[in-house]
Structure 1
Amino acid sequence: MEFKLEVVAVPVTDVDRAKAFYDSLGWRFDADFTVDEDLRVVQFTPPGSGASIMIGKGITAGAPGSLQGLYLIVDDIIAAREDIAARGIEISEVWHDAKGIWHHEGEKDRVPGPDPERKTYASYASFTDPDGNGWFLQEITTRLPGRI
């Protein structure tokens, strides 16, 4: 039996503002359905992703901006960061963790620049949507065994 992550509901305050933000990232716009005044569903899919995000009204009880730790996997952290910055999105500089395994909560032990050896899983950049939902770019060039 396979279980595939299909969609993540991202809590937002203003659906149209969030829609414009995710559209500006260059993500594929999938749908915008208004069922009634209490339910609106907007869906986007990042390029190359098998999973999508949903923003809207009446789709999650989560507080706007409360979703943290969303990862977008890229094979070139510098090019991906430049692409997002060129779209007018505020994004951190590329960084890696001082301990080299995984980054800490917040900005603790962040070292500027990509991992010096460009080890897979070790370089990051981060940005937030207008509500503060937190996204990471993570450079992965070789997957751990068993990962697709």
Structure 2
Amino acid sequence: MDMKLEVIVLPVADVDRAEKFYAGLGWRLDADLGTDSLRVVQLTPPGSPCSIIFGSGVTTAAPGSVQGLHLIVTDVEAARAELADRGVEVSEVFHDEDGLFHHAGTTGRLSGPDPERHSYASFASFSDPDGNGWVLQEITTRLPGR
């Protein structure tokens, strides 16, 4: 049976501020429904089959507690530049000292893209206004079976 990840719930403190931030990234607003006690806002990144939802009454998680959300891009430097042009505070492009994946936080970061530009090995990171953490990951060639 297929199981498709379609929605990620983000905990935010200020729904309107979060909506403005994500819409400012160029993400499509799919829904803004409900009342003050239960409000659901859904946005989708360009080209993504998975959306984010946040609002009031949709999660008990602490605002900003979601980390390690990955946005896959074909050119991490161009994606980083686009975010910066939109006013987002985004890290420099980096690769990990171990070359396998990136460590949590900023541990093991080496400046610049992977020297050999291996797929899956170059990153940049940013956070939303609440501190939910996102990672841009450059993938140009998928692993077999993907």
TM-score by length of 2: 0.98
Q: Quote the offset at 1:109 in angstroms.
A: 1.1
- Count, aligned residues: 146
Runs of 4+ in 1 over 6 A off after TM superposition: none
Q: What's the CA shift string for 1:33-67, capped at 9, x where partnerless? A: 01x33100000000110000001001111110000
Asked if residue 12 in structure 1 is aligned to residue 12 in structure 2, the reply is yes
Over residues 89-145 of structure 1, what are the superposed CA-to-partner deviations in whole Å (9 max), with x where a residue is unaligned? 100010000111111111111000000110000000000000000000000001111
Q: Give SS of 1:56's match.
A: strand
Structure 1 segment 1-148 matched on structure 2, within 5 A: 1-34=1-34, 36-147=35-146
| Structure 1 residue matching 2:19: 3-state secondary structure | helix
Separation of aligned partners in 2, 1:107 and 1:37: 37
Which amino acid is the alignment partner of residue 64 of structure 2? G
Instruction: State the alpha-carbon separation in 2 of the partners of residues 76 and 136 from structure 1.
Output: 13
Secondary structure of the 2:17 match is helix
- In the aligned structure 2, how far is the partner of 1:131 from the partner of 1:146? 36
For 1:84, give the aligned amino acid: L
Identity of paired residues, percent?
64
User: Is there any run of 5+ residues in structure 1 with no aligned partner, and where?
Assistant: none
Q: Hey, what's the Cα distance between the residues in 2 that align with 1:43 and 1:114? A: 32
Task: Let me know the Cα RMSD of the aligned residues.
Answer: 0.6
Distance across 2 between alignment mates of 1:25 and 1:19: 10
2: CA distance between counterparts of 1:122 and 1:114? 8
Q: Which amino acid aligns with 2:57?
A: G
